Amino acid sequence: MPDVPPAGELAALRARVAELEERLAARDAQLEAAQARLAELAEQIEELRRRLGRDSSTSSRPPSSDDPFTKKPRDRSLRRKSGRGPGKQPGVQSSTLRQSPDPDERVECWPVACGACGADLSGAAAIGMQKRQVFEAAPPPPPMVTEYRVVTKSCPGCGAVTEGVAPEGVTSLVQYGPGVHARAALAVCAHYLPVARAAASQVLCLPLYGSLPLDAVDAICDIILSGARP
């Protein structure tokens, strides 16, 4: 059997254990109080940080209340530079708009009067004609092609040659119409589509004639942004 301490020593040990348990209970209470205080202080710090982070862009405060020494972060675009220059890229196959052999509509542009003497040319014979086509985007593809036939007549009175006048804006033998210009500008300038995607036939409704050249889309956007008419 183990040695049993005397009754007096045993009582002293029990009293010591009771005292230590009381101290531990007191320490536990102090620790819980300290943890509660830390949590309260952490909430106060978070609230102060939130208040300090407020400015005219994140609250109803006026801009004059913003800290003049705090520099606001700049909005950075996620788009990155591709390193490529504008327009057609080297090695990319080029495409050229060509006249359609079967336009959807033909408009005769007859000269009304002689450009030299003013004589009536309604009965004069045509001696020449120049075809100018405008490719216009139509909702159902393929695009509608309008051919303006600029007729040249010879005056029976004086023999002068007078050419008919095409509508305003029809200046090339083949060109895109204002509707194509508007669609390209809307896709690139308003919807911020890449030029290559905006030139795709699905966007501009030109499936039978391939995609628009990249330089053509760039030129259209330059015209729109400069305020000039096509």
DSSP assignment string, 45-92: HHHHHHHHT--TTTSS--GGGS-TTSPPPPP--S-----PPSSSPTTP
Please tell me the predicted confidence (pLDDT) of residue 209. 47
Non-local (6+) Cβ contacts of 160 within 8 A are 114, 115, 116, 117, 154
Please tell me the predicted confidence (pLDDT) of residue 207. 46
Please tell me the predicted confidence (pLDDT) of residue 211. 55
- Going from N- to C-terminal start, the domains of the chain cover 9-51, 99-175, 177-230
Please tell me the predicted confidence (pLDDT) of residue 182. 79
37-73 pLDDT, tens digit each: 999 999 988 888 877 777 766 677 777 777 666 666 6
What pTM does this model have?
0.43
The whole-angstrom separation of Cα 5 and Cα 9 is 6
- 107: burial class by Cβ within 10 Å (0-12, 13-18, 19+)? middle
Closest-CA residue to 128 (of 159, 79, 161, 156): 161
At 100, which amino acid appears?
S
pLDDT < 50 stretches in the chain: 207-209, 228-230
The whole-angstrom separation of Cα 124 and Cα 112 is 10
The whole-angstrom separation of Cα 16 and Cα 4 is 17
**Where is 152: in which H helix or E strand?**
strand 144-154
Please tell me the predicted confidence (pLDDT) of residue 94. 72
